[in-house]
Amino acid sequence: MLASASRVARPFTISRRPAVRAMASAASDWLKQDKRRMLHVVYRVGDMQKHIDWYTKLLGMKLLRYRDIPEGKYSNAFLGYNSEEKGFALELTYNYGVDSYDIGEGFGHFGVAAPDVYKLAETIRGGGGKITREPGPVKGGATVIAFAEDPTGYKWELIQRAKTEEPLCQVMLRVGDLEKSQAWYRDVLGMQVLRTRDNPEYKYTLGFVGYGPEEDNCVIELTYNYGRTEYSKGNAYAQVALSTDDVYKTAEQIRAAGGTITREPGPVPGIGTKILACTDPDGYKYVFVDSEDFLKELEAAAK
C-alpha cells in the first residue's frame, strides 16, 4: 500500500522568525485573495495543420485564435470548446523546421469529456484517428472511458459525462511523491486537493487537484506508480498557464511557500504581458499570466 495514499498532505514548513512569519502571513492572504484559474496547456507539434484538423474534425473543438511569430520562428494555435475568456484551451506550438518531438514518460494524457464516448470513439475512428483503448467501463468502476492518440502520439482519455461546462477536462502527469506534489499544488499554486484514489491491485494512486470541481473545470490528474520516483520528460509537453491578478505578489507567495521560481515576474519582450514561471517538485513547469494583460491579448487578437 502506498504510504502517501493514507496520509493527508501537509503544508510546507515555515520558519518561526517574526519577519518570515509576517511574509508568510501576507503570502497566505494573497493566495486566498487571488482569483486564479487554468488558462491553457502548451505543447509542441511537428505539423500544425494536421493537429488543427484532428482536434476540430475529430474532437469537435474550435480554432479560437492563431498567431505566427516569424521573428521567433514559431506559430501558436489555440483550440478549445469555450472562449478563452472563461474556458481552458490547448496552445499548440510549431517551431519552424522541427517535425518531431519526444513525449517522454512523465506526461500521461489529456482528457476530454463527452456525453457518449462510444459515439466519439467511432467519430475518431471514422476520421482516420487511432483508438488505443476501446470504450467501456474503467476497471473496478462504472465510468465509461476510451483512449485515442493524436497525430504526434499524445494520448487522450475520452471520459463519459452527461453534462459539463468544460469538456477539456484533464492534464495527467506522473509524479514521484504524491503527498509532496499535492502539498505543492495546494500551497504554491493555490489549488484544491479534490480527491485521492488508491488502486493497490494495479499498484498506482491518483490525486486530482484544481481550482474547482472536476465536473465543470479542467484539473491536473497526478499519477503515482508504486516504487517509481522519476520519469523522463522529453521535449514535447511544455507547461500549463494559470491566471493571477498580480505576478509580483504571486512570486512572493511562491517563495514563501517554498516554491522554485524559474522566470522572475515581468513583461515578455515584444508582447508586454507580465508573467512568471515556476516548477513543481517533479520539474513540470507552470506559468502565471497577469489576468488583465491576458484579456488585452485576447482583445488585440480579435481586432
All domains of the chain, ordered by start, with CATH? 33-302 (3.10.180.10)
pTM metric for this prediction: 0.91
Task: Please confirm, yes or no, whether 166 is among the known catalytic residues.
Answer: no
Is residue 146 within 8 Å of residue 158, measured between CB atoms?
yes
**pLDDT value at residue 198:** 94
In whole angstroms, give the CA distance from residue 79 to residue 156. Answer: 15
Which of 52-61, 136-145, 175-184 is predicted least confidently? 136-145
Q: Which long-range contacts (CB under 8 A, 24 or more apart) does 13-16 make?
A: 13/258, 14/256, 14/258
- From 259, 265, 181, select the one nearest 223 (Cα to Cα): 181
Annotated catalytic residue within 157, 179, 214, 297: 157
Cell 503570502 maps to which residue? 27
pLDDT in tens, 180-204: 999 999 999 999 999 999 999 999 9
The residues facing 275 across adjacent strands are 266, 289
Q: SS3 for 83? A: coil
pLDDT in tens, 191-242: 999 999 999 999 999 999 999 999 999 999 999 999 999 999 999 999 999 9
User: Which residue ranges are tagged as binding site for Zn(2+)?
Assistant: 91, 109, 157
